[in-house]
Structure 1
Amino acid sequence: MGGLLIVVDYQRDFVDGSLGFPGAEALDGPIAARIAQRRREGWDVAFTLDTHGPGYLCTGEGRHLPVPHCIRDTEGWALYGETGASRLPGDPVFEKETFPSLALAQWLQGRAYGEVELCGMVSNICVLSNTVMVKAALPDAEIRVDARLTASADPALHEKALDVLEGIHVTVTGREG
């Protein structure tokens, strides 16, 4: 059984755009390095893209988070930096209108991945919710999140998200302390 690395929403708007925050850009090199490492090990790499249209503010998410972001075909929608350059044409990409990707979970069902690792943005929202989807689709896989390859604008919520992940039997590595 092979492995899969899922890069969640490492897009410009979450790094240096409308929902960006200090330190988010520092994940770029390490995420790109993890992509290269996993490819050398024979793993597959998939990406999720937070994707909204011009009517975002009228959506359920837009009413709760009234900050337009990741609008399809804008600069903010693009993958960021070295991470974006690491995407290959054959890599699966899942555009999603909300935090988790149901299409990703459906694609995973019945696949023989023994290990899945997730990284990207934002730890307490999209990384957390997509990890739950992976757990539902592949309940017997070893699922990991490296705390050094994800972040949140709110460090306390970041730590709480990592605690929740551990509580649902996800292996969290790279935690300080």
Structure 2
Amino acid sequence: MKALLVVDYTKDFVDGKLPVGEPAILLESAICQITEQYVQQGDFVVMAVDLHEEGDTLHPESKLFPPHNIRGTEGRELYGNLADVYKRHQDRIYWMDKTRYSAFCGTDLEQKLRERGINEVAIVGVCTDICVLHTAVDAYNKGYGITIYEDGVASFNPEGHTWALGHFRATLGANVTSSR
């Protein structure tokens, strides 16, 4: 059995407080199509969504990035049509708040995967070289097979995006593929 991890595809990361911008906007169709496919196949689908608290100056990211994905704000909502996909299938999609780059850090993700006998994860979302990367590294270290949909990831750092795609292949042994 496989799982799809949709990482941080929210309004703040696409065109809001910490925007990837056009590269992330262009992912919308592929991310929605991939998510629908995994739901229809009966695979485990996870919305791993960054969560921050208003005024939290102790979080390590507060020194690196402007406030984003603040609890209760519009910026934390899923972007575009992915919000509709989630609404249609929310009984079959697991929403998971995360407070660090990796979807595994401080969450019950590994437990949810293990109890379902999942040994392979596919990852889409943003940012390729931050949250997607850290999630993939943790998946690798925990023994999961990894697929990265190249047309389902983006970053505000083009060089970081390209580097991460190479790192997924060469260092993590990930299958980097396209949804097409």
Q: How far is 1:123 from its partner?
A: 0.4
Matches within 5 A, 1:104-119: 104-119=109-124
Q: Contact 1:116–1:142 at 8 Å: present in 2 too? A: yes
Counterpart position of 1:38: 38
Counterpart position of 2:90: 89
Distance 2:134 2:27 in 1: 20
Q: Contact 1:119–1:149 at 8 Å: present in 2 too? A: yes
Counterpart position of 1:128: 133
Q: How far is 1:110 from its partner?
A: 4.9
Structure 2 runs not aligned, ≥5 long: none
Distance 2:68 2:57 in 1: 10
Q: How far is 1:133 from its partner?
A: 2.1
For the residue of structure 2 that corresponds to 1:52, the secondary structure is coil
Distance 2:175 2:146 in 1: 6
Distance 1:134 1:94 in 2: 16
| Among candidates 164, 172, 176, match of residue 172 of structure 1 | 176
Taking only the aligned residue pairs, the percentage that are identical comes to: 31
Matches within 5 A, 1:57-72: 57-65=57-65, 67-72=66-71
Distance 1:6 1:171 in 2: 15
Q: How far is 1:142 from its partner?
A: 2.8
Amino acid at match of 2:84: A
Counterpart position of 1:51: 51
Distance 2:23 2:145 in 1: 28
Amino acid at match of 1:54: E
TM-score (norm. length: structure 1): 0.88
TM-score (norm. length: structure 2): 0.87
Amino acid at match of 1:158: H
- Matched residue count: 170
Inter-CA distance 172–110: structure 2 relative to 1 (3 Å threshold):
same
Structure 1 runs not aligned, ≥5 long: none
Distance 2:95 2:32 in 1: 16
For the residue of structure 1 that corresponds to 2:26, the secondary structure is helix
Counterpart position of 2:149: 146
For the residue of structure 1 that corresponds to 2:22, the secondary structure is coil
Q: How far is 1:79 from its partner?
A: 0.8
Distance 2:34 2:8 in 1: 15
